[in-house]
Every structure is written in C-alpha cells, then in structure tokens.
Amino acid sequence: MTWTSLHEITGIAVDVIVVLGALATAVKLRLFNVLGRRWRSDVTCTHWELPDSSVVFAADYQVTNTGERPLDISGVTMVLTGARNTGPLLEPDPQRRYAERSLSPSPDDRSMTRLCSIQPGERSIFTLRAHLPQLDEIVFVEARFTREGGLAEGSYRSMYVKAGANRAAATRAPAQE
C-alpha cells in the first residue's frame, strides 16, 4: 500500500466521520429539544413627577418567546429598590424597597392565564406601577419569572436614572373638557 492510497482511504474516513458527527448533533438537538425553550427579556422604565412632588413610576417587563415551544410561566415578580455604592460600583439596595409586585395565574383569571402562556414568536408584558412619595435619582428594577413546574427562572436587572425623563409631561396643564 502506498502513501497516496492510504491518504485517500483516511480522507474518505474523515469525511464519513464528520458527516456522522453532524447527523448525531442534529438528532441530539431535536431529541433533547435544546433549542425548544428560549426567551429574551427586557425592562423599560419611566416616571412622572406630580405637582405635589410625589412620583408615579412605571416599569414594563417584556418576555419574548424566541424558542420553538410555548413558554408557560407560573409566576412573575418585579421589585423596585434603591441603589447603593460599593466603591465605584452601583448595586441594588434590598433594604430600600420602594415597591414589589408578584403575579401568578389562577384558573379564575383567564386574561392572566393567557398572559403567562407565551407562544413561539409572541411576547407578554408585565407591569409594575407605583405612586411613591419620592424616588431616588438612581433605582434598580429586578424582574424575574418562574417557568411552569419551577424548572427554570429567568431574571433581568435594570438600572433606571431619573434625570427628568417625563417631568414636562406630568406638569402640563390638564386637558380641557
């Protein structure tokens, strides 16, 4: 046997092994449904300062199903906390909780049940709205959900800087009737 014929045989063997590996990977991904349950989440915040110096704060937690199977959520929790400095870094201060909202579907509430069953390519938005006597310049919103059966938890932490975002909208004159 010459080196050339040996090289041809091993080259064919390598090609066959690569194709078999690709097929095995595709079967494994489908069999274990690795890509079946995936999601993306985001938090959007805003606030309005009222004439009496109190603040209305709103946070929208959006969960988008980017997978191939329905995403069933058993509960959503959103917490608004103050910030604290740890050296040059900012982090949530659990001792200063401004507001907390926990949502979970019940058999009686059909709208909440539909909101917590997110079909592939769809999204659900969960809201936290709070009327507060004051709001720090920097706050954190932590939003998390638990999947049906407690199998996994998605969590998103967002920092919000007040910086006068909607002061003008809140201080405009009321609409004429």
Least confident of 31-40, 52-61, 158-167: 31-40
Residue ranges covered by each domain of the chain: 1-32, 39-171
pLDDT above 90 for 50: yes
CA distance linking residue 99 with residue 130, whole number of Å: 7
Which CATH fold topology does 39-171 show?
Immunoglobulin-like (2.60.40)
Confidence of residue 177 (pLDDT cuts 50, 70, 90): very low
pLDDT attached to residue 77: 92
What pLDDT is stored for residue 67 in this prediction? 85
> Is-contact 137 143, C-beta < 8 A?
no
Alpha-carbon distance values, 4 to 1, 12, 80 (Å): 8, 13, 70
Whether 80 contacts 58, CB under 8 Å: no
φ and ψ of 147, to 5 deg:
-75, 160
Q: Does the pLDDT at position 83 exceed 60? A: yes
